[in-house]
């Protein structure tokens, strides 16, 4: 999946070797810093663009968090261990909802700003109607939570 993501335009580490016998993967070393440690609006926008590119190509990251992005010259997506193929709007919405939950818990004071910037980045790549469907589904998922807050 990481190679597929790279092929569609998402910066990922290059995979040099996959050794099935020894269960080893040899990949490019990225000399970058973890995005979670200095998240800002620019990084959130780029994460949104990357998520949109993945989703437009039916790739669900499965663990879409700032911790799974490195910043060097460019943003680099990592850890595709939970990724899978899907065309389902629900699966794309779950990816986005997870990022929202992480932003809310790690950056409560900046949550709305960061999340909206992420969505702006996502919209900059994807079809408007598709984004609207996905975001409606995020709202549905949020309403199914056991202790969901009622919107005021």
- 32-144: CATH topology: Transferase(Phosphotransferase); domain 1 (1.10.510)
The alpha helices in the chain, defined as continuous H runs, are: 2-7, 41-56, 89-106, 111-123, 128-144
| Active-site residue (options: 7, 19, 63, 95) | 63
127 is catalytic: no
Per-residue pLDDT band for 152 (boundaries 50, 70, 90) equals very low
- pLDDT, one tens digit per residue, over 14-25 is 999 999 999 999
Q: Evaluate if pTM is beyond 0.95.
A: no
What are the extents of the domains in the chain?
A: 32-144
């Amino acid at each position: 999946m990481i190679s597929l993501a790279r092929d569609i335009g998402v910066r990922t580490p290059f995979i040099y070797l996959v050794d099935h016998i020894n269960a080893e993967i040899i990949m490019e070393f990225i000399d970058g810093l973890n995005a979670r440690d200095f998240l800002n609006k620019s990084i959130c926008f780029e994460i949104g663009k990357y998520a949109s590119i993945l989703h437009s190509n039916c790739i669900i990251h499965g663990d879409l968090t700032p911790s799974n992005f490195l910043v060097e010259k460019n943003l680099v997506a990592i850890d595709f261990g939970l990724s899978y193929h899907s065309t389902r709007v629900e699966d794309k919405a779950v990816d986005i909802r997870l990022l929202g939950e992480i932003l809310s818990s790690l950056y409560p004071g900046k949550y709305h700003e960061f999340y909206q910037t992420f969505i702006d980045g996502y919209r900059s790549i994807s079809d408007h109607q598709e984004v609207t469907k996905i975001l409606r589904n995020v709202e549905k998922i949020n309403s199914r939570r056991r202790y969901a807050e009622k919107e005021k």
